[in-house]
Amino acid sequence: MNSEETLQLVIVGFGGMGSYHGQLVEQAEGIVVRGAYDPIEYRMELASTRGFRTYDSFEAVLSDEEVDVVLIATPNDVHKELAIQALQAGKHVICEKPVTVTGAELLEIAEAAEKAQRLFTVHQNRRWDEDFLIIKDLMSQKKVGDVFHLESRVQGANGIPGDWRQLKAYGGGMLLDWGVHLLDQLLLLTDSKIESVHADLSYILGTEVDDGFTTTIKFKDGLTAVIEVGTTNYIKLPRWYVKGTEGTAVIYDWDLSGEIVTRNREVAHVEPTPIQAGKGLTKTMAPPSEESTIRRPIEKAEDLSDGFYTNLVSTLHGASRQAVPNHEVHRVLTLIETIFESAEKNAVIVREI
């Protein structure tokens, strides 16, 4: 591929995420949206108003020799079939998450990509979220010492989106919808292997798929993590809560409000003042003395990495490595399968992942 060529991309599935990808591509250089395909007519009308060419069928997309990249933003159950067809037609493929419901299906796609000598990648876009980058920097720089426990949550009170995401046959449910993001982020925060997994899935809303979940994951290096997604939470818990040997950090919400409290090593330890706790006194649970701690606000982390589409263009021109390697995606899917197994068996699953 010539380094001066502009990649031509077609969006397959022009719903909420598909149309959003149109905006993302417009912000990148070296790639443009050539067109879109969706079997729903009004979505094709929307794509046309955006100036995109519309296709009558998926086969028409694949037969267009000018198309370099196919983006798949359809319901989850057809990702594998469409991806393999596109790869076999000589197209590079981007797939929305979750790429497949099982790790075995992803391996089939990866095999097809290797045979076709085409790139296949998954749009794990929340690797670029500011809150995650702050936590990643905090842990790598040991700003609260060695982290031994973290909690990562997203919570709302609006239930599951009222479309195919409520149906099991389409790969619906919040573990596959939001869990895939939080678990992907978690596995990027440590090099350690997973030792055990325990999980509970929520079915409060009465749908056939989970409306949320809580999982506790233990790593071989001693790190423990609680990952939680909820759609029935009228009061949310913090987005991130991180405990280290030298302090604690919290990010409350998407606005990045929060703080870091660390031990002040420049002064001798000052005992806390006991507080009234209900009908008794406690010093153990009293806040640490102001002299013994340092409080500072959350600061944004500098992100020197390329964005998803910038990396894609650079990778296809041979100048960069794929930002979302398929083996990392496969590990996330293996973890998701283990979470489903733990919830079904109501047991701790001891397994190296």
Q: Where are the domains of the chain?
A: 7-123, 127-257+298-304+334-350
Q: Taking the domain 127-257+298-304+334-350, which CATH number applies?
A: 3.30.360.10
The whole-number pLDDT of residue 283 equals 87
The whole-number pLDDT of residue 4 equals 65
Higher pLDDT, 291 or 108: 108
Whether 323 and 308 have beta carbons less than 8 Å apart is answered as yes
Residue matched to tokens 């497949």:
100
Q: Is the peptide bond before 98 cis (omega within 30 degrees of 0)?
A: yes
- For residues 221 and 46, give the distance between their C-alpha atoms in angstroms, rounded to a whole number: 50
| Burial group, residue 128, by CB count within 10 angstroms (0-12, 13-18, 19+) | middle
Residue 202, pLDDT above cutoff 70: yes
Neighbouring CB atoms inside 10 A of 121's CB total 22
Do 7-123 and 127-257+298-304+334-350 show the same overall fold? Answer: no
Residue 181, pLDDT above cutoff 90: yes
Task: Kindly state the average pLDDT of the residues 318-330.
Answer: 96
Least confident of 23-37, 262-276, 328-342: 262-276
- Indicate the class that CATH gives domain 7-123: alpha beta
| Cβ partners under 8 Å of residue 12, min gap 6 | 18, 36, 37, 38, 58, 61, 70, 71, 72, 73, 74, 82
Looking at the DSSP assignment, which residues form a beta bridge with residue 227? 152, 215
Task: Quote the mean pLDDT of the chain.
Answer: 95
- For residues 135 and 151, give the distance between their C-alpha atoms in angstroms, rounded to a whole number: 11
Looking at the DSSP assignment, which residues form a beta bridge with residue 293? 263
Q: Are strands 293-297 and 258-263 parallel, antiparallel or unpaired?
A: antiparallel
Task: Kindly state the average pLDDT of the residues 315-341.
Answer: 97
- Which amino acid would we find at residue 54? T
Whether 106 and 124 have beta carbons less than 8 Å apart is answered as no
Phi and psi, residue 155, nearest 5°: -145, 145
Task: Kindly state the average pLDDT of the residues 122-139.
Answer: 97
The pLDDT tens digits of the residues spanning 211-261 come to: 999 999 999 999 999 999 999 999 999 999 999 999 999 999 999 999 999
Residue matched to tokens 């239930």:
159
**Would you state the torsion angle of the CA atoms of residues 192, 193, 197, 203, taken in this order, to the nearest 10 degrees?**
80
* Three-state SS at 30: coil
Half-sphere exposure (Cβ direction) of 199: Cα atoms closer than 13 Å: 28
Residue 2, pLDDT above cutoff 50: no
The whole-number pLDDT of residue 272 equals 86
Task: Kindly state the average pLDDT of the residues 185-195.
Answer: 98
Whether 28 and 49 have beta carbons less than 8 Å apart is answered as no
Neighbouring CB atoms inside 10 A of 99's CB total 30
| Structure tokens that stand for 137 in this block | 């920097």
Cα 322–327–330 angle (5° rounding)? 125
The whole-number pLDDT of residue 184 equals 98
Q: Are strands 194-202 and 53-54 parallel, antiparallel or unpaired?
A: unpaired
Residue 102, pLDDT above cutoff 60: yes
The whole-number pLDDT of residue 189 equals 98
Whether 93 and 70 have beta carbons less than 8 Å apart is answered as yes
| Cβ partners under 8 Å of residue 53, min gap 6 | 34, 35, 36
Residue 1, pLDDT above cutoff 60: no
